[in-house]
Amino acid sequence: MLKRLTLILSLVLAAPALAVEPSEVLDDPGLEARARELSKGLRCLVCRNESIDDSNASLAKDLRMLVRERISAGDSDQDVLDYVVGRYGEFVLLKPPATGSNLVLYVAGPAMLGLGMIVAAFYIRGRRGRETPGAAGLSPEEETRLKEIMGE
């Protein structure tokens, strides 16, 4: 009974186990390579941060087919991306466009690095400055006191 049930279930649940399936692959290896490269940058809308190239969800498959359709129709890579973004919004791009508020995302790292470098430079200079405390010179009071001692 259980065995039969599992068999039935296994047939019902037989979801596609592969991401890119053999039937999807384009005949022209050049176009296919472009399609794969584009797929890596597009998000599977129902998954958690997975690209459509990695995902085996059926929605990802539809999107992969769409990308291949556009490529076969002669679109350039940018055309394909524009087309997909036009339909699904910028949410599908795994690398968000560096425009408007997104600039913050792109600038944050380099800016932080620059800031860190500046702070570090001052710190390192400061540590070096105190290297020879004696050589920094005596204060005027110390100077006169020294003269006093030496003179007397």
Partner 1 sequence: MFIELGHFALTLAFAISLVQAVVPLIGAHKGWSGWMAMAEPASIAQFMLTAFSFAALTYAFVTSDFSVSLVVNNSHTLKPMLYKISGVWGNHEGSMLLWVLILTLFGAMAAWFGGGLPPSLRARVLAVQSAISAAFFAFILFTSNPFERMAAIPFDGSDLNPLLQDPGLAFHPPFLYLGYVGLSICFSFAVAALIEGRVDAAWGRWVRPWTLAAWICLTIGIALGSWWAYYELGWGGFWFWDPVENASFMPWLISAALLHSAIVVEKRESLKSWTILLAIVAFGFSLIGAFITRSGIITSVHAFASDPERGMFLLLILGVFMGGALMLFAARASVMEAKGVFGTVSRETALVFNNILLAVAAFVVFVGTIWPLVAEMAFGRKLSVGAPFFNMAFTPFMVALAILLPLGALLPWKRARLGRAGGALVPALALALALGALAWAMQTGRTALGPVGVALGTWLIAGAAVDLWLRAGRAGIVDRLRRIARLPRADWGKAVAHSGLGITMIGIAGVTAWQVEDIRVAQIGERFEVGGYGVTLDKVERVQGPNYVSTTATMGVWRGDRRVSTLHPEKRIYPVAGMPTTEAALDSGLRRDVYLVIGDPQEGGGWAVRSYIKPFANWIWAGAIIMALGGGLSLSDRRVRVAAGARQDRGAAPMPAE
Give contact residues for partner 1 (rule: CB under 8 A): 3, 5-7, 9-10, 13-23, 25, 40-41, 43, 48-51, 54, 56, 89-96, 100-102, 104-106, 108-109, 112-113, 116-117, 120, 123-125, 127-128, 130-131
| Comparison of 7 and 73: residue with beta carbon closer to partner 1 | 7
Alpha-carbon 89 to chain mean position: 18
43 φ/ψ angles, rounded to the nearest 5 degrees: -90, 140
| Distance separating the N- and C-terminal Cα atoms of the chain | 114
For the bound state, the minimum distance from the C-beta of residue 34 to partner 1, rounded and expressed in Å, comes to 15
Nearer to partner 1, 103 or 146 (CB): 103
Residue 130 token pair = 């105190």
C-alpha dihedral, 140 to 144 to 145 to 149, nearest 10°: 150
We find the least distance from the C-beta atom of residue 111 to partner 1, in angstroms, to be: 10
